Amino acid sequence: MDYIDPDRANFDRFKALPRNTPIRMLNLVRFKDKAAYPEGHPLADKGWTGAQAYAEYHRAIAPVLAKVGATMVWEGGFECVVTGPEEWPWDATFVMGYPDAAAFLAMVTDPEYKPVVVHRQAAVRDSRLVRFSSTKG
C-alpha cells in the first residue's frame, strides 16, 4: 500500500499531541516515474517526472514554510544501509523543523498551501511523514 496524504485517524493522532512544543517531521518520499497532475492543471501536459514536480513543490511551498517559521533541519542523499535490508526505496529523505505543531497545522490549512500541494500529490508515489519531538524525553 502506498501513502501520499495523511488518513483521518493518523491526522487525529497528530492533532491530539501537544501543539505548543517544537517538532521535527521526518519525510521519506518515493517519486512517481511521471508526474500525474489533475486533468486541466497547467502542468498536466508538461511531461514532468515525479522528481521535477517535487522540485516545483519545494520551490512553491517555500513562502508558506517561511510564513509559519518552518526550516529544513537536515537533508541527505542515500549512500547505503548498514543495518537492515540493502534496498532503500526513498528518493528524498529530509527533516523539517517547525516551531510547534500549531505551525504545521497553520501551514496545511493556509489558503496558499492548497494550490502548492498539488505538485506534491502529482509527484509522490509513496511517502512517510513521521512526527518527532525536537528533544528526547
- Identify whether the C-beta of residue 53 lies closer than 8 Å to the C-beta of residue 45: no
Query: Is 17 inside a domain boundary?
Result: no
Of the candidates 58, 25, 23, 36, the residue with the CA atom closest to the CA atom of residue 128: 25
Report the pLDDT value the prediction gives residue 137, as an integer from 0 to 100.
52
For residue 57, what are the β-bridge partners? none
Report the pLDDT value the prediction gives residue 68, as an integer from 0 to 100: 98
User: Is residue 19 one of the residues assigned to a domain?
Assistant: no
Distances from the Cα of 18 to the Cαs of 42, 49, 92, 101, in angstroms? 39, 37, 28, 7
Asked if residue 20 is part of any domain, the answer here is no
- Buried-state track 78-110, b at ≥16 Cβ within 10 A, e below 16: eeeeeeeeeeeeebbbbbbbbbbbebbbbbeeb
SS3 state of residue 136: coil
Domain residues for the domain of 99 are: 31-133
Total domains present in the chain? 1
Q: What CATH number does residue 41 fall under?
A: 3.30.70.100
Domain assignment present for 10:
no
Give the cell for residue 23.
517538532
Taking 70 as the pLDDT cut, the residues of the chain under it are 136-137
Is 15 contained in some domain?
A: no
Give a yes or no: residue 22 inside a domain: no
pLDDT of residue 135: 74
- Residue 50 resides in a domain: yes
In a domain, 116, yes or no: yes
Q: How many CA atoms lie within 13 A of 102 on its CB side?
A: 4
